[in-house]
Chain A
């Protein structure tokens, strides 16, 4: 039987080898095109990185790509100077405070509300949820002027928590939408048997919903973190001396050419964290993206 199988396989294998080669040849142009496009897509980020390790003096007359013929131009002094720059270090800390705190709050509040919309019965639930969906598309420009005044009155202007809370509010509609839809899909009998066992809603939420909802929660957290780490507009409006890194760099933009030895490395530092988060949790990121747009 084994011999028969082998005999039958030989011509087949032969066939696939030649077919494979043929297919490989046919696909060569496609591969070349895609490799070219992929490299092109990498160039901007690579250019930023190389610019960030070139001294100001070299950049005035050399393009960053000339580092390949003059590798000795590379220096890490830009980065060294930057880490001795109190402004940048503070800005990085502020960015981290804002991004971490608002992500935590959005996840907690969003999960609680999502659970209520998915599994608690109350009159007007669907209408309230439609209201939340409607809020999804409110441009944050609609809130800048009134909140600017309100923040001024309540002492939230120019504080990291003021900026963070703004992000929480504008992150919540998507958070509730995403988590409610995920929670609704959880198996009903698990929840009901827990209720029959006499578990209270808070216990169900903590012991059942949160662990089961982890994939959706992870997607949401990554989204919210990246979104707020990368924010410019909100921090530009509500920060003055307390600013995250994007706003701090934007203060240097006026002198783009002569401050490039600060702007380029600072920009690169600002994108390292989102990049690491993205690569570590890529799967969740894409899942969240699909849930947000295709659903």
Chain B
């Protein structure tokens, strides 16, 4: 292994390179060659700017001289409405997201240990890590669309909601005469008091032809019956208009409508469903005064979709997308920790008759704790600096509601803000938040050495 004539120094007996023949100067020159370029980059792009930003944060928006601002830039963090929102939101991010990521990652890591195709599962869950947070933002913006016919999540919501509480047969219907009154829960109450032997006429309008039940036939004005309260629910409208409150030729009965008979106290004593011709019959009604109403269920609207990107939900929506990205990271790191678990300890616990749950709580978790805390701390840092996904996923209209520290810093200093003083203060604030982690890193290194 002679180095092709580059050096001609004699072999040294003592191994440490310190005693080489080049002398101190030569060795330091070598250090400079290896270390110099990196140190130059770090100094110019990191150390100098960090110092500059700290100093800059005490000066006004445009320059140094004569613009001393004291701590007023920092006061903006809670005085300025947008900045306050950003800080509040970031607190929520830190409080919620790291815990969720660790929990989801832990569950996935433990569960995948028990199946054969764990590699496939891990790959699928890990893929979002390779994709830019920006593209993820675009992706989820498509999923979060508010209309259940174009947004996948709300479409799923509609399927579930329709199964749990099916939409009414007549979601859009309105009363045809003022004798029918809409109640706060959506039911339509016929104000006329009824006694056994009376006929109730419940006329409805504003029903789109497409909403008409297919089985509907010509409405029939029922004949009064002794001891019963009978009635009709019909579409009180025909092409050309018709006379409100009167069942006429060409007007259709509304089948499948739930009609309630209420006592004078408002209690539902009977309910009936209308026939194809719209008629219904409450039989054997004891003497007394009653009212009828079309139940609220008839008018229940179909699920309209949640505004995932609206001002209230936007931060929650962002967090869900963010957890989708990072769960894979937590899972892979935790799974590696599980794999390196000392098998003999686990075996010993099993031999001693500990249950799987006991082993998990008493053996696995304590051994895993350092790894969980590393993932947790990493996530806190990531979450403090969250930017791309908010920028891409939150529409302009709700971006202020979704504001976070990094986004506020960018918008304050650049993107038309142009306030370098407050921008620097926000950056320093962010830096102060991560310093505890810095201390942690240095401590860990010192321990290792």
B120 neighbours in A (Cβ, 8 Å): 38
Are B27 and A122 neighbours in the complex by a CB distance under 8 Å? yes
Say which residue of B41, B143, B449 sits within 8 Å of A47 (CB atoms).
B143
Chain B residues, CB < 8 A from A260: 142
A237 to B412, CA, bound (A): 12
Kindly list chain A residues whose C-beta atoms are within 8 Å of the C-beta of B111. Answer: 30, 33-34
Say yes or no: is B442 at the interface (Cβ < 8 Å to chain A). yes
Most buried by B among A166, A194, A256: A256
Contact of B388 among A47, A232, A293 (CB under 8 A): A232
Nearest 4 CB-CB pairings of A with B: A169-B45, A230-B132, A143-B49, A278-B130
Q: Which of B1, B30, B131, B428 is the one whose CB lies under 8 Å from A199?
A: B1
Q: Give 1 or 0 for each of B379-390: 1 = CB within 8 Å of chain A CB.
A: 001001101100
16 A-B pairs in the complex with CB atoms less than 8 angstroms apart: A30-B115, A41-B125, A44-B139, A47-B152, A48-B138, A51-B142, A139-B431, A142-B427, A173-B46, A226-B130, A232-B133, A233-B387, A233-B388, A237-B410, A270-B134, A275-B127
Total contacting residues, chain B, CB less than 8 A: 112
Q: Are A198 and B3 in contact (CB under 8 A)?
A: yes
Q: Are B42 and A169 in contact (CB under 8 A)?
A: yes
CB of A274 within 8 A of CB of B130, answer yes
Give residues of chain B (33-79) contacting chain A, Cβ–Cβ below 8 Å.
33-35, 37-39, 41-42, 44-50, 52-53, 56
Known: A47-B143, A145-B424, A146-B49. A232 touches B132 (CB 8 A): yes
- Interface residue A158 (Cβ < 8 Å from any Cβ of B): no
The digit string for B73-96, where 1 denotes a CB below 8 A from any CB of A, is: 000000000000000000000000
The stretch from B200-208, B249-257, B329-337, B347-355 touching chain A is B329-337
Q: How far is the CA of A25 from the CA of B438 in the complex (A)?
A: 49
Q: Interface-forming stretch among B14-22, B169-177, B359-367?
A: B14-22
Q: How far is the CB of B51 from chain A (nearest CB, A)?
A: 9
Question: Measured between alpha carbons, how far is A65 from B159 in the docked complex, in Å?
Answer: 14
Beta-carbon contact of B388 and A195 below 8 Å: no
Given the known inter-chain contacts A122-B31, A130-B442, A145-B423, please indicate yes or no for A278 contacting B42, CB distance below 8 A. Answer: no
- Establish whether residues B138 and A289, one from each chain, have CB atoms under 8 Å apart when the complex forms: no
For the complex, give the distance between the alpha carbons of A286 and B125 in Å. 13
User: Does B12 make an interface contact (CB < 8 A)?
Assistant: yes
**B-chain residues with CB within 8 Å of residue A230 when the two chains form the complex:** 131-135, 388
Within the complex, the shortest CB–CB distance from A129 to chain B, in Å, comes to 8
| CB pair B132 A274 closer than 8 Å | yes
Is A135 interfacial (CB 8 A cutoff)?
yes
- Determine whether the beta carbon of B155 is less than 8 Å from that of A137: no
Q: Is the interface of A mostly helix, strand, loop or mixed?
A: helix
**Chain A, interface size: which category?**
35 or more
Partner of A196, one of B11, B27, B49: B11
Q: Using a CB-CB cutoff of 8 Å, which residues 401-419 of chain B contact chain A?
A: 406, 409-410, 413-414
Known: A254-B396, A275-B131. 7 other contacts (CB 8 A): A41-B324, A139-B406, A148-B414, A165-B41, A274-B131, A274-B132, A286-B336
A218 within 8 A of B: no
Contact A200 B133, CB 8 Å, known A133-B445, A138-B431, A143-B45: no
Known: A30-B111, A34-B121. A137 touches B34 (CB 8 A): no
- A282-B123 CB under 8 A given contacts A169-B44, A200-B6: yes
The yes or no answer to A15 lying at the interface (CB within 8 A) is no
The proximity string for A residues 102-142 relative to B, scoring 1 for CB distances below 8 Å and 0 otherwise, is 00000001101101110011100010111011111111011
For A30-64 the 0/1 string (1 means CB < 8 A from B) is: 11011001100111110110010000000111111
Q: Give every chain B residue within 8 A of A268 (Cβ-Cβ).
A: 135
Q: Which residues of B contact A176 (CB under 8 A)?
A: 38
Which of B212-220, B235-243, B370-378 touches A? B370-378
- A202 to B150 Cα, complex, angstroms: 61
Contact call A64/B152, Cβ cutoff below 8 A: yes
B143 close to A294 (CB less than 8 A): no
Instruction: Answer whether residue A93 sits at the interface, using C-beta atoms and an 8 A cutoff.
Output: no
The answer to whether A198 touches B152 (Cβ under 8 A) is no
Residues A259-284 near B (CB distance < 8 A): 260, 263-264, 267-268, 270-271, 274-275, 277-278, 282
